[in-house]
Structure 1
Amino acid sequence: QIYIVHADEWYYEEGDSSVVDQLRGNVNVRYDSVFLFCDTAFIHGKILKAIGHSALVQGDSLKIFADTLTYDSESGQADLLGRVLLVNGNQRLRTDSLHYDTRTKIATYLTGAFLENLATRMYSQRGDYHVQEETIYFRDSVRVQDPQFRLKADSLYYKVRENRAYFTGPTLIRQQKANLYCEEGYYDLVAQEGLFTRNAQFADSTRQAQADEIYYQAQPERIILRGKGLYQEGSRLVSGDTLDYTTSSGEFLVRGNGFLQDGQQTIEAEGIDYNTRTERFQTQGRANVQDGAQFLEADRIMSTDSSEMAIVVGNVVWRDTSARVILTCDSAAYQRSAGYFMAMGSPPLLMQVIDGDTLYLVADRIRAERGAGEDSTRQIHAYHHVLIYKSDLQASCDSLIYSERDSLFQFFGNPVIWSDTSQFTADTISIRMTDQAIDSIFLRRRALILNSPDELYFNQIKGRLITASFNEGELAKMDVVGNAESVYYALEENGEYLGVNTSVCSEMVLLFADNQVQDIYYLREPESVMYPMDQVDHGSLQLEGFRWRILEKPLSLPDLLAKWNTIQPAMVESQ
């Protein structure tokens, strides 16, 4: 039923089978809940055509303005032409032509339209405005302009109440500082946050990211990558199943197959918490860290503060492939910038390949650190209850220092070294390496060397300073300086003892072949006595400080660990 609410003038024409009503001036016509306004209207049966300042009003909020309007009261269909403006709340839709179904409350355009929502302006070539659902479907050449971003898409739909644009095809968002691309997802125009899926990518002048899903928040900026996430910024590369990055704080949370590369350092773990500003990090699950030639593995790694100090816990393995060093322990402290590594636990075990053979070292604590300034060589310090095993060298002491620059081992605190059938003791002992082989051994103060082929009779050499020189891993020469004393058991060619010679002098030189004494040179007023084997108390010939410590000597790696575990409780109880 058509109700003519008002018109300044009303005319009608009767034809053979129909009547045409003509309304002029401030026309107002109502069809159920639909009001039509115009300058001039022609009503022919169920059809109304409005001309000039035409308007369609439905409900409390919907208004559509146009130059002309055609309305079918039976079907509820309206077609509007010329400077069409649809107003619904804060939304303004502008187009040249619009079809509107008053029953379904769906407006359709095919010739391009702009939607204005506060400061946001949207355009597409085709689209549908579902007024009742407050949803607008944009298709073909979609563009969105906003003070904060620009958007291009093949298609999207916009939910007015949510202020969200949902993407259903290739979409590119350009913000002031970042670009986002996806083929599905949504973006909240007010909150400036969104979820981007299907080939999701993020990029700005310095950063790139991609994942199965990217959640992005502009203020404060936050990026979450889910599913094969990859983030790159300069030399920093981060990947994992899920990445959560808040740029304002620099906090990175990586979960699942975590990988972080920052310069030369890479970190792999099931989970990684990392701060890009402080470079602090913490791992979850078994972790692997590589920094150049250095590798670190542990159940957990936690950096502590801006000093770059990290705490390493659980089945720790540290490797330096350039120096061919491996260090294992229960826990450790690690500082990357200084090349500092302190191994603790029971017991720290250091392994280093020397001359094709592996040297094993255990102690209460083992510390490795690089020199300051231009000196990048490493020093290794071992503290308390130090034991060493190598196939041709074994040692025990309270503390040890190894200098990579000088290739020098220094032993302190009741040190003892075994090489083949010889035992070396002194207040301090040093071993110099050349080409990864023993070059010389220095014994300082109360130096004493014992040698025995059968552990019945002992060759003894004592002095203030003893220097033992090696050739291709075998003892070749020994220089004894200061209060030199020797006890030497001479052998027949058949291996029987000929007698024992005792000598005292200021200095002596011994030459060796096949680890046996070949010649002895006594310098500066030597005093020597030769005793037959059966005419001397061999016990009385033992020099001051004599102590055969063969039971302390490690015989293998398992024996090394067993002896250390035996010594430790005994040492603790004695304290």
Structure 2
Amino acid sequence: MLKRNKKDKQQDRHRWLLIGFLCLFGVCLVAQNPKKPADKKQQPANKQQSESKKQPENKKTKVYLLHADEGQADKLSRPDVQVLIGNVKMRHDSMYMYCDSALIFEKTNSVEAFSNVRMEQGDTLFIYGDYLYYDGMTQIAQLRENVKMINRNTTLLTDSLNYDRLYDLGYYFEGGTLMDEENVLTSDWGEYSPATKQSVFNHDVKLVNPKFVLTSDTLRYNTENKIAVILGPSNIVSDNNHIYSERGFYNTLTEQAELLDRSILTNQGKKLVGDSLFYDRVAGYGEAFDNVKMTDAINKNMLTGDYCFYNELTDSAFATKRAVAIDYSQGDSLFMHGDTLQLVSYNLNTDSLYRLMKAYHKVRMYRTDVQGVCDSLVYNSKDSCMTMYTDPILWNDGQQLLGEEIKIYMNDSTIDWAHIINQALTVEMKDSIHYNQVSGKEMKAYFINGDMRHIEVVGNVQTAFYPEEKDSTMTGFNCLEGSVLHLYMKDKKMEKGLFVGKSNGTMYPMDQIPPDKLRLPTFSWFDYVRPLNKDDIFNWRGKRAGETLKPTTDRRPKTDKRNLINM
């Protein structure tokens, strides 16, 4: 009984060993043949994952030797190195490499190539050099000495070039030159992508074009559209002008520029600055937008506003949107505002060159010694004459001059004399009740050092004048009429008047002045219109209703009635 039990125990042990062996065998089979997913839709994804796992083993990643005149190998000392001599030709994917001699490192899948090195990819990319190290794993080629990269119409020259095949990007770091049909670019550091045609340059960048030279610290350039992107302080210099910009675009093909960040355009002594600029070199004009300033260093004046247009071919410009013309040729600057300010040049490149400066509409001007308002104004540099049209008023200290038209003749940017034409009136305020007044058909006011000293009044002269003692006490009221009057000023006040020829009138004591004689028929006092300072020129205040002058003459162009009938 005991023996049978022992036998049974042995049989049980064998049975369990067999079961364990069978289970282990089944596990191995399962590990070798994983169960297929029940969802058939996931099969392509698993298949793709399986193929991607095999990709590193793809033979295309290996550098292949296609030809060499001689081949050597030392299996003992350097078993993974092939020494190739003479007409060596290799391939890695779509890139072919040629040289006089080379070393192929099988373990690292890399190549060293010497002398007459050439890399070719398709029929668009060719790279030459004296030395090449190519890493087949990273696909980075390092070429040294006499390196030349050619991509269609673009050529890159340098002594040190790294070319990354994965990103299709070549870059140099010890100086290089990039050339295409239009431009030649040099810099200390640069990169070029044959795929995108985009290049980037840093440090001592210079772009040379037959018509201009661009120097910069940082620049992007596209060899396909020929557009240079300015990314740092840059200067564009040509025979005619100079551009400074720190950010913008310059199309070297069309020669148009869009410039930002207070870029500067300088031409023949004129400087145009704005928050943004547009410039067309072929058409010869520039536009500036927002916070614009155009300065003429030769004539010492400037235009400001929120928009300015300048034509360098015709030497003309105009400004709008809070436009101001500033003359700073004298110690005291003259500020003039109008809806539009325009500068036009005539007889360019001749000895008879002259310019017209036009201001319209709602013109206001201010200088500490003279102020004025009118609807429109023209300044002609030929005769140094500034003509004010439509209800013009001119103030000089305490004197107010007005008429249908005022011509101001300048001498070295200061007033020499003024001509007031038709309905001329000059008024001097003594206090809120008493005014010295002179009216006539026309007046000529003469200035010395910016001060009015003498007024000549011609035609239908009328005066309402208060003579004074030396202590400025008014001694009476003089109402006179005549044909010609010479009025003299002293200390910016009317001192005395002398009539030429016959005159008549009445001298009234101060306490016997008739109320209807206090004011001349044409009297007006426009202190509410007068500009108060250089900022007040933007605040237009027109004359009150009924106070505007009605022209006495028709200034429209004459028409021949006979021609009208014949038409």
What TM-score comes out, normalization by structure 1 length?
0.70
Asked whether 1:555 is paired with 2:555, we answer no
The Cα of 1:422 is off from its aligned counterpart by 0.5
Asked whether 1:341 is paired with 2:317, we answer yes
* Correspondence for 2:411: 434
TM alignment of 1:109-258, pairs within 5 A: 109=84, 114-115=88-89, 122-124=98-100, 126-130=101-105, 135-139=110-114, 141-144=115-118, 153-158=129-134, 166-173=141-148, 180-186=157-163, 194-202=170-178, 207-216=183-192, 223-226=199-202, 229-234=205-210, 236-240=212-216, 242-246=218-222, 249-258=225-234
TM alignment of 1:202-351, pairs within 5 A: 202=178, 207-216=183-192, 223-226=199-202, 229-234=205-210, 236-240=212-216, 242-246=218-222, 249-303=225-279, 307-345=283-321, 347-351=322-326
2:272–2:288: 8 Å Cα contact kept in structure 1?
A: no
1:238–1:260: 8 Å Cα contact kept in structure 2?
A: yes
Note the residue ranges of structure 2 that are not aligned, 5 or more in a row.
1-58, 546-567
* Aligned counterparts of 1:148 and 1:372: Cα–Cα separation in 2: 54
* Aligned counterparts of 1:516 and 1:413: Cα–Cα separation in 2: 27
- Residue 177 to residue 215, structure 1, CA distance change in 2 (3 Å): closer
SS in structure 2 of the partner of residue 534 of structure 1 = helix
Asked whether 1:360 is paired with 2:335, we answer yes
Amino acid at match of 1:209: L
Question: CA deviation digits over 1:398-435, x for unaligned, max 9?
Answer: 22222334332222221111101100111111212112
The Cα of 1:223 is off from its aligned counterpart by 4.8
Moved more, 526-535 or 305-314: 305-314
1:399 to 370, 376, 384: 376
2:73 to 85, 99, 121: 99
Residue-pair matches, total: 476
* Aligned counterparts of 1:205 and 1:283: Cα–Cα separation in 2: 24
1:143–1:150: 8 Å Cα contact kept in structure 2?
A: no
* Aligned counterparts of 2:314 and 2:143: Cα–Cα separation in 1: 53
SS in structure 2 of the partner of residue 550 of structure 1 = coil
* Correspondence for 2:511: 534
Amino acid at match of 1:527: N
SS in structure 1 of the partner of residue 466 of structure 2 = strand
1:565 to 539, 547, 566: 539
Q: Identify which of structures 1 and 2 has the higher relative contact order when contacts are C-alpha pairs closer than 8 Å and 6+ apart.
A: 2
2:477 to 487, 494, 500: 500
1:130–1:136: 8 Å Cα contact kept in structure 2?
A: yes
* Aligned counterparts of 1:285 and 1:505: Cα–Cα separation in 2: 64
* Aligned counterparts of 2:142 and 2:90: Cα–Cα separation in 1: 19
- Residue 107 to residue 178, structure 1, CA distance change in 2 (3 Å): same
* Structure number with higher strand proportion: 1
The Cα of 1:353 is off from its aligned counterpart by 1.2
TM alignment of 1:31-50, pairs within 5 A: none
Question: CA deviation digits over 1:122-158, x for unaligned, max 9?
Answer: 435x53135687753224x445499999976452235
1:452–1:458: 8 Å Cα contact kept in structure 2?
A: yes
* Aligned counterparts of 2:365 and 2:405: Cα–Cα separation in 1: 16
SS in structure 2 of the partner of residue 503 of structure 1 = strand
What TM-score comes out, normalization by structure 2 length?
0.70
TM alignment of 1:7-18, pairs within 5 A: none
* Aligned counterparts of 1:480 and 1:248: Cα–Cα separation in 2: 73
- Residue 538 to residue 182, structure 1, CA distance change in 2 (3 Å): farther
SS in structure 2 of the partner of residue 497 of structure 1 = coil
Amino acid at match of 2:479: T
Question: CA deviation digits over 1:244-294, x for unaligned, max 9?
Answer: 334564432223444433444333334211223433221233333333422
Moved more, 195-204 or 419-428: 195-204
Question: CA deviation digits over 1:162-219, x for unaligned, max 9?
Answer: 9x9833434332869856124232288xx9x843333233368985422354344789
* Aligned counterparts of 1:293 and 1:496: Cα–Cα separation in 2: 54
The Cα of 1:116 is off from its aligned counterpart by 8.0
* Aligned counterparts of 2:112 and 2:382: Cα–Cα separation in 1: 73
The Cα of 1:546 is off from its aligned counterpart by 1.4
% identical aligned pairs: 21
* Aligned counterparts of 2:298 and 2:415: Cα–Cα separation in 1: 19
1:463 to 440, 445, 460: 440
SS in structure 2 of the partner of residue 198 of structure 1 = coil
* Aligned counterparts of 2:260 and 2:189: Cα–Cα separation in 1: 23
Give the alignment's Cα RMSD to 1 decimal.
4.2
- Residue 122 to residue 537, structure 1, CA distance change in 2 (3 Å): farther
Amino acid at match of 2:531: P
Question: CA deviation digits over 1:441-476, x for unaligned, max 9?
Answer: 111121111123445322222222212111222223
1:178–1:205: 8 Å Cα contact kept in structure 2?
A: no
2:366–2:531: 8 Å Cα contact kept in structure 1?
A: yes
- Residue 372 to residue 384, structure 1, CA distance change in 2 (3 Å): same
- Residue 441 to residue 528, structure 1, CA distance change in 2 (3 Å): same
SS in structure 2 of the partner of residue 364 of structure 1 = strand
